[in-house]
Amino acid sequence: MRSGHLVSFIALAAAALGMPARAQTPAAFSTTPKLTGSLQPRFQSLGDSASFFLRRARFAVEGSITPWASYRAQVEMRTIGAAATPATSPLTLSATDLWVRMTHQRWSGTVGQFRVPFSLEALLSSITLETTERSRIVNAAKRDIGAQLEWRIPDRLVLQGAVVNGEGPNRAANPDNRMAYFARAVVTPVKGLDLGGAFEGYNDSTSFDLQAMYRTARGTARTEYIRARNRTTDVHTVGWYVLASYGVVPRRVQLVGRVQQFDPSDQVATDRSTGYLVGLQYFIRGDDFKVMADYEVFREQVVQLENNRGVVQLQVRW
């Protein structure tokens, strides 16, 4: 799909949104920008090494332009997990969210850089995650540049579709002139239970995702199964996780457990790994101020590695 088709997609999004009718009375709103941010300093033990570092620091400005149009711009600084900027510095600085969103009744359309609608765990903010790291098959919140449409019936159905460059975030160009496509559907058959599926298609690979989440007043359970295929090599990558959390002291102490499995290649018989995690969250002021601690034991299919991970992380959000 080339640039002309992308323009058509954006035009279709604008038509679908319909722009609010003049006869409607807009709800009260403010155009004053809101500044938000978060800090996640942590101590981590990985195998036989240990260190203190800044997992991430995020700063954002967001607000409304009209009653039906909003925006968000967020940058992230971190000291691990990505190439340094500049190359001589241990600090990484990058943009995460850079989008404008337009809404009308059950429709919404987003253009810019945003999280693509695929994995449930990737769409959950790191601020609200029950664990200090996402599962291996998800790895990170995947972002890209493009356009997205969403239609929803509150507490019943969500349909999402997106067309993006397929080059990842903070990329100024699309060298191969090919797009990536995403589609996701989530249904809520009973209160608290979400069942969904998603598809992503790149020039050289495709993936599908099955996901479920159940929430109660004191606990959450969720699971995902993701299978990806590289069309060039015919390699399949498969992974899944099952997670449960329960508030043993409501709004104060939460216990977390997770089992995950990751197989990067079905053509290699010895590379599958399984992880067993136990964790705890202590809420001082909800997700705005909390301490997280978890420990994960990994078991490889053949050769055992020194990669068990223990993390204690402080989180502050404003």
Query: What residue segments make up the domains of the chain, in order of their start?
Result: 103-317
State pTM to two decimals: 0.86
pLDDT at 299: 96
Question: What is the pLDDT tens value at each position of the chain, 318 positions in all?
Answer: 444 444 444 444 444 444 444 444 455 678 999 999 999 999 999 988 999 988 899 999 999 999 999 999 999 988 765 444 455 556 778 899 999 999 999 999 999 999 999 999 999 999 999 999 999 999 888 999 999 999 999 999 999 999 999 999 999 889 989 999 999 999 999 999 999 999 999 999 999 999 999 999 999 999 999 999 999 999 999 999 999 999 999 999 999 999 999 999 999 999 999 999 999 999 999 999 999 999 999 999 988 899 999 999 999 999
pLDDT at 12: 43
Q: Which residues make Cβ contacts (< 8 Å) with residue 125, sequence separation at least 6?
A: none
pLDDT, residue 3, reads 43
Sign of CA dihedral 106, 197, 144, 39: positive
Handedness of CA 129, 132, 137, 141 (dihedral sign): positive
Closest CA to 120 of 71, 179, 185, 72: 185
> Yes or no: is domain 103-317 CATH 3.40.50.970?
no
